[in-house]
Structure 1
Amino acid sequence: MKDITTREDIEILVNKFYDKVIKDDLIGFFFTDIAKIDLSKHLPKMYNFWESILLGNPVYEGNPMRVHFPINEVSALEERHFNRWLQIWEETIHENFEGENTETAIARALNIARIMNHKMANARGN
């Protein structure tokens, strides 16, 4: 297996991840029922997000934290949800890639999940 080194690699990873996550029994409903994401619009944002993080190309514009607060108000985003998100992310990565950027993708996702979990809990007053 190869490392994540191109935009195409990121698109493969993100596509395979979303194929799994939207069908997941624990967290899929956040994507399909609550956020009702349009994959044709959402996936390019995710490609840009991860390309910015992993390849250092500043192509992402937005505030990922801000868009999650309204979801959290409808249905609490809890630690178990972030843990499942991470589990699917790591599983998808390890099925397709290995190397330095691959490990960075896992480490950065862990940090993102921790920060998001903390901020969502604070927003709920927990």
Structure 2
Amino acid sequence: MKTLVDTFCEKVNQDEVLSPAFNAVARVHWPHHLFTLYNFWSAALFGPKTGRQSAAARDLGLPLEGPNCRRWQTLFDAAVRENFAGPKAEEARRKVLNLGALLDASFPTRNPTLTVS
């Protein structure tokens, strides 16, 4: 899980659009965020399956909607494809699409005054 999350977060930090959104606008505290992501993706892909996965998604507090959300999904998909293959890799790719849809739809209620473009 560490390889996937670290590769993905490196891509986000190097991205010309998402890096400012995460670092300047949302002021993501990376050590805490990485820990949250390791736990979230470990539980989401390897169990145990609990209601905590959906709660963790809300807790991420990501500054994403619309095109930025799709960009975030594309970077995650690239991190999966670069490092993994097989059923769990495909499951991770499906889950990030579902999570992205959830985050995009809930953006106005999670961040009513934050606009990231």
TM-score, reference length from structure 1: 0.75
Aligned pairs for 1:26-37 within 5 A: 26-37=17-28
Letter in 2 for 1:101: K
Q: Distance between the aligned counterparts of 2:57 and 2:104, measured in 1? A: 13
Q: For the Cα contact (< 8 Å) 2:65–2:103, is it kept in 1?
A: no
Aligned to 1:53: 44
Q: For the Cα contact (< 8 Å) 2:22–2:28, is it kept in 1?
A: yes
Distance 1:67 1:91, change over 3 A: closer
Aligned to 2:10: 19
User: How big is the shift at 1:93?
Assistant: 0.7
Tell me, which stretches of 5 or more residues in structure 2 are unaligned?
A: 113-117
Q: For the Cα contact (< 8 Å) 2:45–2:88, is it kept in 1?
A: yes
Matched, 1:64 2:51: no
User: How big is the shift at 1:121?
Assistant: 4.6
Q: Which is greater in Rg? A: 1
Query: What value does the CA root-mean-square deviation take over the aligned residues?
Result: 2.3
Distance 1:36 1:55, change over 3 A: same
Q: Distance between the aligned counterparts of 2:87 and 2:98, measured in 1? A: 17
Letter in 2 for 1:80: P
Aligned residues: 109
User: How big is the shift at 1:30?
Assistant: 2.0
Aligned to 1:6: none
SS in 2 for 1:22: helix
Question: Where in structure 1 do 4 or more consecutive aligned residues deviate above 2 Å?
Answer: 57-64, 121-124
Percent of aligned pairs with the same residue? 26
Matched, 1:44 2:35: yes
Q: For the Cα contact (< 8 Å) 2:57–2:99, is it kept in 1?
A: no
